[in-house]
Structure 1
């Protein structure tokens, strides 16, 4: 998730709006090396919302999310930058139609803390923004219930599990033998010369993207042990499939996620995230087969046609 080049408007908005040190328009403009007048004018033009109003709304959304996770009204108020609980309570009640004390812990869905926005920019836990394409005036792509996307994702998950089962039967020396010295799939993942390295990065990539989407901390890497990878894969696979199905059902392929955990913050379109994962997943699965064959382990071609035919026959 580190390969984006340059900066875009969404990243600049994120930097200015969510930086904890930027409590005023002057602070935001200073970080952007602009005068308050030009900074405010640019954001009004590009995002349809004054920067201070945007920050106030996003902070209220973050406060609502925190309240649903059990944070006290007092802590939520000061975390949102309010000087008094009373001022926060009035602003919250105007925005949500109920006082913050009425927000129950655990209540609400994943987007129920969002307030109406002219630009589709919303708080996404724990420190990110989400840009809803519908609200932002963009377009979505891909029909709901797209069978090709479903098949690609399910094949990837099933095929990954098959490869991990095969890897379980190998000796530790074979798992870590450098069959592909110097091989790199993505620069930020480092070298992947062994089967253990390829499979570790393959499973970890889905874990990282799902963590960004769900608002979780970056998951730790493992050592490529196939048994541990199987457990991790079985934990992440149903969540990843559910995410893709939800995006497809809503036709939300054009929605954006702005991840503040990246350095610098980066914005991602959901459709391109899924395409990215599927592209490099397929590449790594074939690399794993290449290594297995070099180790003398017989393995199939991983063809989705064969997979689908076998799956169809087994359900008859």
Structure 2
């Protein structure tokens, strides 16, 4: 492949070839760039740090996430992204974003970690960050937030398999995690508090009224969790993008109102969420349910094919 000639944006041409709607295969991309697949792949990997296929897959997933935030169905987004089945799209989306496409809502983040800062920019453009974080895939706060949301959903699904009596059985009489939250003596009580904590803090961050308590059966809690979990991920990501962890909010839901840093809020939620998830595991084992230990290392290995 020859070097770029004057007046031509060769990288832009390569990206156009990668993202052309009718170029799903490497050979198609290379043909549109008038290069062999070998030279096309080598040049793009050198310039962007990603293979053509990986870059295309990631940007189309970002576009799919944006389309879903705009009201597109998961099915429509899946086929627009080139997936042959909705199930395959859901698996790929979940591995990439840390939550299923159905948990994506208006305000959810739509960019994925990228070594080159190249992202989908609506409606049909690309955005290239000047200083991308090359290791953003291992951002510690994002890792913990995604793991917390994923793991809570897993525990809710396991709890749904319990008989009603076992789900509400008092297994830890007098157990209190935080004094203002009251007793958390059963699987039902601990899981409800896991979900409600994020709902309450989101209301504070968003300046909304205190949410009314919702149903606490496993199906209702899972539905509440999928809504609040997606919003929580988006809220923390937005705080990080704005470098606003040191900003303060006045929580008028407290009596009297109190002031907290956003970083302190996130650390508080993560700390007591991790504690409650371990409590739920202990209770589930007491009911005879087989459950893992919730180790983020194992979670990362499952997400990234053995790399942690």
**Secondary structure at the counterpart of residue 258 of structure 1:** strand
| 1:230 corresponds to 2:222 | yes
Q: What's 1:309 paired with? A: 301
| 1:291 corresponds to 2:288 | no
**1:156-198 deviations in Å (ceiling 9; x for gaps):** 0000000001011111100110111110000011101100000
User: CA 1:146 to 1:245, structure 2 compared with 1: closer, same or farther past 3 Å?
Assistant: farther
Q: What's 1:157 paired with? A: 149
171-180 or 144-153, larger mean C-alpha shift: 144-153
User: CA 1:251 to 1:182, structure 2 compared with 1: closer, same or farther past 3 Å?
Assistant: same
Q: Deviation at 1:220?
A: 1.8
Q: Deviation at 1:144?
A: 8.4
Provide the rounded CA distance (Å) in 2 between the counterparts of 1:222 and 1:172.
17
Provide the rounded CA distance (Å) in 2 between the counterparts of 1:176 and 1:183.
14
Contiguous gaps of at least 5 residues in structure 2 = 1-106, 108-134
- Residue 191 of structure 2 contacts residue 280 of structure 2 at CA under 8 Å; is this kept in 1? yes
- Residue 199 of structure 1 contacts residue 288 of structure 1 at CA under 8 Å; is this kept in 2? yes
- Residue 157 of structure 2 contacts residue 218 of structure 2 at CA under 8 Å; is this kept in 1? yes
**Secondary structure at the counterpart of residue 313 of structure 1:** coil
Provide the rounded CA distance (Å) in 2 between the counterparts of 1:144 and 1:163.
27
| 1:210 corresponds to 2:202 | yes
Q: What's 1:247 paired with? A: 239
User: CA 1:301 to 1:144, structure 2 compared with 1: closer, same or farther past 3 Å?
Assistant: closer
- Residue 300 of structure 2 contacts residue 306 of structure 2 at CA under 8 Å; is this kept in 1? no
Mapping 1:88-127, distance limit 5 Å:
none
Q: What's 1:4 paired with? A: none
One of 188, 195, 198 as aligned partner of 2:180: 188
Q: Deviation at 1:222?
A: 3.1
- Residue 195 of structure 1 contacts residue 291 of structure 1 at CA under 8 Å; is this kept in 2? yes
Provide the rounded CA distance (Å) in 2 between the counterparts of 1:165 and 1:308.
20
Q: Calculate the aligned-residue CA RMSD, in Å.
A: 2.0
Q: What's 1:9 paired with? A: none
User: CA 1:169 to 1:267, structure 2 compared with 1: closer, same or farther past 3 Å?
Assistant: same
**Secondary structure at the counterpart of residue 229 of structure 1:** helix
* TM-score, L = length of structure 1: 0.53
Higher relative contact order (CA 8 A, sep 6+): 1
Q: Deviation at 1:223?
A: 4.5
Q: Deviation at 1:224?
A: 2.4
Contiguous gaps of at least 5 residues in structure 1 = 1-108, 110-142
| 1:266 corresponds to 2:266 | no
Provide the rounded CA distance (Å) in 1 between the counterparts of 2:231 and 2:286.
33
Mapping 1:127-138, distance limit 5 Å:
none
* TM-score, L = length of structure 2: 0.54
Mapping 1:172-183, distance limit 5 Å:
172-183=164-175
**Secondary structure at the counterpart of residue 266 of structure 2:** helix
Provide the rounded CA distance (Å) in 1 between the counterparts of 2:235 and 2:300.
22
